[in-house]
Amino acid sequence: MKDFQVGTGTYVITEKNNQKRSIQLFCLLCILILFSVIKNGLLPYLSKQVGLSGLFFPILFVLSGMIMTLLVDLICHQLLEPNKKINYFHSLNLGIIYTLILPLYTPLLFVVLGAAVVIIFEYFMRKLFGKIYLSPVLVGWIFIMGLHLLSFIPTLDYLNPLEVELGTPLGMASTISDLGNYQTIVEPYGSLLDFILGFVPGGVGTTSILLCMMLAIYLTIKKELKWRIPLVTIATVFGMTFMIGEFSHLSLWYPLFQICSGSLVFGSIFIAAYDETSPVTPIGQVLYGLFLGVLIVILRYMTPLTDGALAAMLIIPVFNSVFDYIGAIARFHFTKSVIAFIIAWFLILLFACFIGIQNMKQEKMIETRVEQIDLM
């Protein structure tokens, strides 16, 4: 009689562990880093707008975030979980995503401090709740926003974030009293193609819609992306902004402009669909995308925030348990879920109409005032 090792099955497992998944994501994010280096370093250098330091600054910018997240991860790991296996690529990826959403002229000290916050926050959530409820990357981002606000204090001589915002297309659009038109909000940056290719102001590596979409498609084929989240989020923003634009007689370019501007596409792929802070059930993911899309539109049109995408992505994951609870039960009642989804979409579009009408009224009021001033 021979004895054998025991243990529960399954006795074969997929080769794809977290480490391999992180390495795969890392390789893809490197493509975005490369784009950022070309857009922010190489092209300005070739057109002699910057010198050698300007050429290398974008890579230094990203590296500073990456190295900091890695270092802090190593330290936290040694202090808190020395016996567990460490996945270096996980912290590197967080570092990359975090730096890519920042504007290039964020002071390096801020970048490094924010990167530390990203990792410390992740450990803090895990230790305290066993789960991460808010995106660590966005916590780092909000931390930097806070530092920017502090920089108003005269002793700190850093750039004012509003100045940064004004440079972006959405920032520009927010300075116009109505919704704007193609000449006022798109043409200053070239054409919509420039938006799609990513040669417009914005985060360090978030502007190329084409690249982001290609990476999303690749990740979806590799079954490594919760694709419903970016799809529904973008579709919701598109649908709503289309309705809003229709009330002001703006054509299809308007919703496209709304989608291609800001951090919406990059954020919905790499931040909103980030595994740990997004729902696990397919229907939960659809709900999450719907709410995210609606909140982005609300923030863009009804608050002083110009982009709103990252802020919405910071808030919505708080409701993940609700989305997942509904999603898990609804899986057993598929037809009912589809009907509920259609009703929800209808209501969302109605809501978009409401925003559109409000805008239209505002435009009319402005027109009347202008006419009155002219008459006077």
Partner 1 sequence: MLSVKLHKWKKISSKTQASIYNKPAYVYIPLISQDDDNITLLVKKGDYVYKGSIIARRKGNLRIPIHSSISGTVVGFEEKYYQNGKLEKCIVIENDYKEKYQVNKGVKRNLTKYSKEEFIELLKECGVVGLGGTGFPTYVKYSSKRKINTLIINAIEAEPYITCDSVLAASKCEEILEAIDAIMEINQIPEAIIAVKKTNTELIHTINNFIGTYLRIKLVLVPDIYTLGYEKKLVQYLKHVSYQKYSMDVGIVVNNISTIYAIYQALKYQHPLTERMITFTGDALKKPQNVIVKNGVLVEEVIEHIGGYKRDKKIQLIAGGPMMGRAIPSSDLVVTSNLNCVLVLKPNTGKEVSEVCVHCGKCVEYCPTRLSPVLIKEHLNHPKILKQLEPQRCIECGLCTYLCPSRIKVRDMVQEAKQKVGGSK
What are the residues binding partner 1 (CB under 8 A)? 1-14, 16-18, 20-21, 84-85, 126, 130, 223, 226, 275-282, 285, 324-325, 327-329, 331-332
Q: Residue 131 or residue 369: which is nearer to partner 1 going by CB? A: 131
* CA-to-CA separations, 84 to 68, 80, 130, 193, 309, in angstroms, rounded: 20, 9, 15, 47, 35
Alpha helices in 157-249 (DSSP H): 161-167, 169-174, 192-197, 209-221, 228-247
Q: Residue 143 or residue 288: which is nearer to partner 1 going by CB? A: 288
d(CA 114, CA 107): 11
Minimum CB distance to partner 1, residue 84 (Å): 7
Contact 104, 58 (CB under 8 A): yes
* CA-to-CA separations, 164 to 100, 104, 187, in angstroms, rounded: 15, 9, 19
Minimum CB distance to partner 1, residue 280 (Å): 4
Q: Which long-range contacts (CB under 8 A, 24 or more apart) does 320-325 make?
A: 320/133, 320/277, 320/278, 320/279, 320/284, 320/288, 323/279, 323/281, 323/284, 323/285, 323/287, 323/288, 323/291, 324/279, 324/280, 324/281, 324/284, 325/284
Q: Residue 3 or residue 374: which is nearer to partner 1 going by CB? A: 3
Q: Residue 299 or residue 330: which is nearer to partner 1 going by CB? A: 330
Minimum CB distance to partner 1, residue 275 (Å): 5
Minimum CB distance to partner 1, residue 234 (Å): 19
Q: Residue 334 or residue 354: which is nearer to partner 1 going by CB? A: 334
d(CA 333, CA 339): 10
Q: Residue 206 or residue 277: which is nearer to partner 1 going by CB? A: 277
d(CA 300, CA 243): 15
Minimum CB distance to partner 1, residue 260 (Å): 28
Minimum CB distance to partner 1, residue 325 (Å): 7
Minimum CB distance to partner 1, residue 133 (Å): 11
Contact 264, 225 (CB under 8 A): no
Q: Residue 106 or residue 277: which is nearer to partner 1 going by CB? A: 277
Minimum CB distance to partner 1, residue 305 (Å): 28
Q: Residue 307 or residue 324: which is nearer to partner 1 going by CB? A: 324
DSSP letter for 209, please: H
* Phi, psi for residue 249 in degrees, rounded to 5: 55, 35
